Amino acid sequence: MRRSTAGPVRWNERVRNFKHMARFIVAISKLYIAIPSAFPRMLTSSRTPRYLKTMEHHNIPLDKFKFDPAIIKNRWLLLAAGKFCAETVPGSATGGALPYNAMTISWGSTGQIWNKLFFQVVVRPTRHTFSFMESGDSFTLSVFPEALKPALSLLGSKSGRDGDKISASGLHPMASSRVAAPSFQEAELVVECRKMYWQDLDPSHFLNPAIEANYPKKDYHRAYFGEIVAVHGTEAYRG
Ligand SMILES: Cc1cc2nc3c(=O)[nH]c(=O)nc-3n(C[C@H](O)[C@H](O)[C@H](O)COP(=O)(O)O)c2cc1C
């Protein structure tokens, strides 16, 4: 009489499948850990120095400052607020511990009001940067070389509330010349602003109803006007 092998065979198959599944889960977990932790290394690694060139900053007198507003939309700006502190070693801070923060913006304007040169930005109250815009008396706006767009994408998609995204971006904050908010070594232009006016956008004043579509969470921006008090960067911004 032949003995049935179906029982042990099925059992062996089950063990094999279980091993495959376990290996698969371990591999996915490794990827999950490796990819995000590789990002800061990708940006800061010595193999990518052209990403992170320190720019030579020249002081640009305000009456010589030349700026094309299309840069705001096309190149994006980094808005930074709070107090730069040289003692804060980049990378050592845990979530929310930095005394300043920065986020990417692409809405804003520049011009003249009350006989002062200004930069105007809009910040949703839900942003971590908002609290620094509120508590400090200044902000800075930085323009970076095109090659640094990945760093701006990171700073515009992660919150400083959840970790030290500035270190992760690979950018190096530095003291500004006239205001407490930080400047950045890799910026090709930094505009230092002292806050002079704010106002919350009022949805009852939206004359085009389509604007409301930008606010599914009703987190209407607060607009800040900053007086430009200092400008430094490359000669490209000297008129
Ligand atoms: C291209 C771009 C433009 C942005 N413009 C603005 C803006 O003008 N105002 C704003 O409140 N958020 C803007 N954001 C979103 C913030 O940068 C983003 O929510 C960021 O993660 C906030 O960081 P924080 O929580 O550390 O402040 C923009 C994001 C990107 C990618």
pLDDT (tens digit per residue) in 32-59: 545 444 444 444 443 434 457 888 889 9
pTM: 0.81
Alpha-carbon gap, residue 111 to 196, rounded angstroms: 14
Higher-confidence position of 4 and 163: 163
How far does residue 139's CA lie from ligand 1's centre (Å)?
15
Q: Kindly give the number of the ligand 1 atom that is closest to the alpha carbon of 103.
A: 17
Q: Indicate if ligand 1 lies below 6 Å from the C-beta of 37.
A: no
Strands 183-184 and 108-113: unpaired
Q: What is the DSSP string of 64-126?
A: GB---THHHHHT-EEEEEE---TTS-TTT--TT-SSEEEEEE--EEEEEETTEEEEEEEE-TT
Task: Compute the average pLDDT of residues 76-88.
Answer: 91
Contact 100, 181 (CB under 8 A): yes
What are the pLDDT digits (tens) for 108-161?
Answer: 999 999 999 999 999 999 999 999 999 999 999 999 999 999 999 999 999 999
User: For residue 75, what are its two tokens?
Assistant: 């190149």
How far does residue 157's CA lie from ligand 1's centre (Å)?
7
Class in CATH terms, 50-237? mainly beta
Work out the pLDDT band at 89, boundaries 50, 70, 90: low
How far does residue 134's CA lie from ligand 1's centre (Å)?
16
Residue 77 pLDDT greater than 80, yes or no = yes
Residue nearest to atom 13 of ligand 1 (CA): 105
Q: Kindly give the number of the ligand 1 atom that is closest to the alpha carbon of 153.
A: 31
Q: Indicate if ligand 1 lies below 6 Å from the C-beta of 106.
A: yes
What are the pLDDT digits (tens) for 160-218?
Answer: 999 999 999 999 999 999 999 999 999 999 999 999 999 999 999 999 999 999 999 99
Contact 186, 171 (CB under 8 A): yes
DSSP letter at 195 equals E
Contact 125, 109 (CB under 8 A): no
Residue nearest to atom 18 of ligand 1 (CA): 156
Q: Indicate if ligand 1 lies below 6 Å from the C-beta of 129.
A: yes
Q: Three-state SS across 120-170?
A: EEEECCCCHHHHHHHHCCEEEEEECCHHHHHHHHHHCCCCHHHCCHHHHHC
Residues 6+ apart with CB under 8 A from 105: 72, 76, 77, 78, 79, 121, 122, 123, 141, 156
Q: Indicate if ligand 1 lies below 6 Å from the C-beta of 82.
A: no
Residue 92 pLDDT greater than 80, yes or no = no
Segments making up each domain of the chain, as ranges? 1-47, 50-237
User: For residue 16, what are its two tokens?
Assistant: 């094999």
Residue 90 pLDDT greater than 70, yes or no = no
Residue 106 pLDDT greater than 80, yes or no = yes
Residue 10 pLDDT greater than 80, yes or no = no
User: For residue 109, what are its two tokens?
Assistant: 């304007």
Q: Indicate if ligand 1 lies below 6 Å from the C-beta of 169.
A: no
Work out the pLDDT band at 96, boundaries 50, 70, 90: very low
